[in-house]
């Protein structure tokens, strides 16, 4: 895919790696030779200068594991894996309850003798927070999909909105 | 709301005794586990999120009617002795205290002005609302904490699921998030060897027991904390009422066991009580465990009127104030184990001697000052 192009960095060796990054909301495509790519830490570990690359790589990895939840895909919101849960006995966030739903239902039934809450009902009204957790988890899932389909414009937009939400107090 | 401040005398109102069944049940508590929407649970929350959770909790505590003039202590701001002080007073859990480390944990305790309501922030769950009462008073403790829950839940959006109920970090707390417990003294059942049957019985009806310091602590001094095992599939009132009924039966069994002992083995019983008193009055070194075990004998003697002093209040005070952090604080430093044992023995001797002098001792109490 980089036929005939020279490396953006050294301008000497043929470009063999195409690296797409999103920097300050702009999508950038770099063409690199293997030497420069290695120097920039692209081929092995993503460069610390481009945290998003790191982020995307991580998302890519979890995406591959998506096919089987039971094999231990982490909670999309907090990153808790089923191994973490097995080790600590603790869930990492409210979203874990939805994420590990299938397994938890059986466990709860064994522990509690029931899986249906019949106590106090709770509805919060007048909250300006909304369901921040569910919103964030939804946006993260859409971000993953956007990256998977190389829709980098949407990905950049979602990334900014997630950052905004995380920063908002 | 007050930030920090003296711990002197806080959270120990129940030591005055006087609650229902006060000679068998020391105290009652009901706690509700709650988490806020939009934040990872404490096990996954980073420093920033933990700080935000504490900020929000403070705002809600400030707004809660039940917690007017409450005091809030951040665990990070307390020294290790002060943290253990709260632990010995049963106001916080070991988990909360142990969250204090190199990074700010933003773990905190809020305590109502009248000491019978508290909130732990950033423990295993974001919030642990607690109601405390002296003696056997489950319904009172529940009603107070239920009201606080309404007040806090109006301000802060809780994580709630239509099926699982209030979502918690550990599935053993999910649903109502309610754990009700009574701290109960059962020397009669232990001495008559009926205790295992009773403990087996309570586990068959969905209850469990722990030691003085809650989860994971062993039973010392014949003090058991009876509590509900499950938190889901029953209403809060059903859980509280069930514990109240079963604990009521255990109290009856304990009373029968004590009657049997006094009828069948009065001398053995009296000997046990007076030996305990003798050691507590004269020992020069006492471990916490030895103190708690001997205090059990003395408490039984007081309840059965085999001995006139000390009062239930003094018994309760020694139980809490005789522990290591309290002794360390008294001397303004930290004591190692051996020093603490010596300080504890001196404290117990003084407290028992003072009680002898302030009440006109009967002819069967020792005369003179054993110190």
Q: B52 and chain A: CB distance < 8 Å anywhere?
A: yes
CA nearest B244: which of B267, B263, B228, B261? B228
Q: Is B232 exposed, middle or buried (0-12, 13-18, 19+ CB in 10 A)?
A: buried
- In chain B, which residues have their Cβ closer than 8 Å to the Cβ of A88? 43
Q: Are B223 and B296 in contact (CB under 8 A)?
A: yes
pLDDT for B22-35, tens place per residue? 889 999 999 999 99
pLDDT for B161-211, tens place per residue? 989 999 999 999 999 999 999 999 999 999 999 999 999 999 999 999 998
pLDDT for B69-112, tens place per residue? 999 999 999 988 999 999 999 899 888 988 887 688 899 999 99
Q: d(Cα A47, Cα A23) in Å, to the nearest integer?
A: 13
Cα of B312 to nearest chain A Cα, Å? 37
Do B37 and A124 make contact, defined as CB atoms within 8 angstroms?
Answer: yes
- Regions in chain A scoring below 70 on pLDDT: 1-4, 18-29, 38-71, 125-135, 137-138, 141, 145, 169
Q: ipTM for the complex?
A: 0.87
Q: A67 and chain B: CB distance < 8 Å anywhere?
A: no
Do B153 and A124 make contact, defined as CB atoms within 8 angstroms?
Answer: yes
Report pLDDT for B236: 94
Give the DSSP letter of residue A71: G
pTM above 0.95, yes or no: no
Largest CA distance in chain B: 67
Q: Which of A97, A113, A133 sits opposite B230 (nearest CB)?
A: A113
Can you tell me the mean pLDDT for B235-239?
94
B92 dihedral zone (left: phi>0; alpha: psi -120 to 50; beta): beta
């Amino acid at each position: 895919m980089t036929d005939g192009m020279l490396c953006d960095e050294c301008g000497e060796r043929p470009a063999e790696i195409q690296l797409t990054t999103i920097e300050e909301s702009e999508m950038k495509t770099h063409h690199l030779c293997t030497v420069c790519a290695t120097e920039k830490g692209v081929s092995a570990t993503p460069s610390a200068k481009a945290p998003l690359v790191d982020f995307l790589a991580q998302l890519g990895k979890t995406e591959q594991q998506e096919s089987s939840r039971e094999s231990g895909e982490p909670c999309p919101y907090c990153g808790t894996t089923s191994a973490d849960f097995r080790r600590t006995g603790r869930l990492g966030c409210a979203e874990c309850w939805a994420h590990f739903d299938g397994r938890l239902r059986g466990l709860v039934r064994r522990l509690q003798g029931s899986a249906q809450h019949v106590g106090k009902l709770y509805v919060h009204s007048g909250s300006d927070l909304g369901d921040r957790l569910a919103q964030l988890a939804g946006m993260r899932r859409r971000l993953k999909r956007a990256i998977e389909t190389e829709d980098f414009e949407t990905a950049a937009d979602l990334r900014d909105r997630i950052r905004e939400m995380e920063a908002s107090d | 709301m007050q930030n920090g401040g003296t711990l002197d005398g806080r959270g120990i109102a129940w030591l005055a005794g006087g609650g229902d069944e006060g000679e068998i049940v020391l105290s009652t508590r009901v706690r509700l586990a709650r988490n806020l929407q939009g934040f990872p649970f404490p096990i996954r929350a980073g420093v920033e999120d933990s700080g935000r959770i504490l900020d929000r909790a403070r705002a809600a505590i400030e707004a809660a009617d039940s917690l007017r003039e409450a005091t809030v202590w951040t665990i990070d701001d307390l020294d290790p002795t002060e943290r253990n002080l709260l632990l010995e007073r049963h106001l916080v859990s070991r988990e909360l205290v142990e969250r204090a480390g190199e990074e700010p944990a933003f773990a905190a305790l809020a305590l109502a002005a009248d000491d019978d309501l508290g909130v732990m922030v950033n423990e295993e769950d974001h919030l642990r609302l607690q109601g405390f009462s002296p003696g056997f008073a489950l319904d009172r403790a529940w009603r107070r904490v239920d009201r606080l829950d309404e007040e806090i839940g109006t301000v802060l959006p809780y994580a709630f699921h239509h099926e699982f109920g209030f979502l918690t970090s550990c599935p053993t707390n999910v649903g109502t998030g309610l754990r009700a417990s009574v701290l109960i003294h059962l020397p009669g059942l232990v001495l008559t060897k009926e205790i295992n049957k009773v403990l087996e019985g309570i586990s068959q009806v969905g209850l469990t027991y722990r030691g003085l310091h809650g989860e994971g602590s062993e039973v010392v001094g014949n003090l058991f904390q009876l509590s509900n095992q499950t938190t889901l599939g029953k209403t809060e009132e059903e859980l509280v009422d069930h514990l109240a009924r079963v604990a009521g039966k255990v109290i009856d069994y304990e009373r029968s066991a004590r009657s049997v002992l006094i009828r069948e083995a009065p001398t053995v019983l009296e000997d046990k009580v007076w030996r305990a008193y003798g050691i507590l009055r004269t020992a020069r070194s006492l471990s916490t465990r030895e103190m708690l075990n001997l205090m059990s004998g003395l408490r039984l003697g007081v309840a059965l009127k085999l001995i006139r002093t000390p009062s239930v209040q003094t018994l309760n005070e020694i139980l809490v104030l005789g522990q290591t952090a309290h002794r360390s604080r008294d001397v303004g430093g930290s004591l190692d184990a051996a020093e603490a044992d010596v300080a504890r023995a001196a404290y117990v001797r003084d407290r028992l001697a003072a009680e002898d002098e302030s009440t006109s001792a009967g002819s069967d109490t020792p005369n003179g000052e054993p110190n």
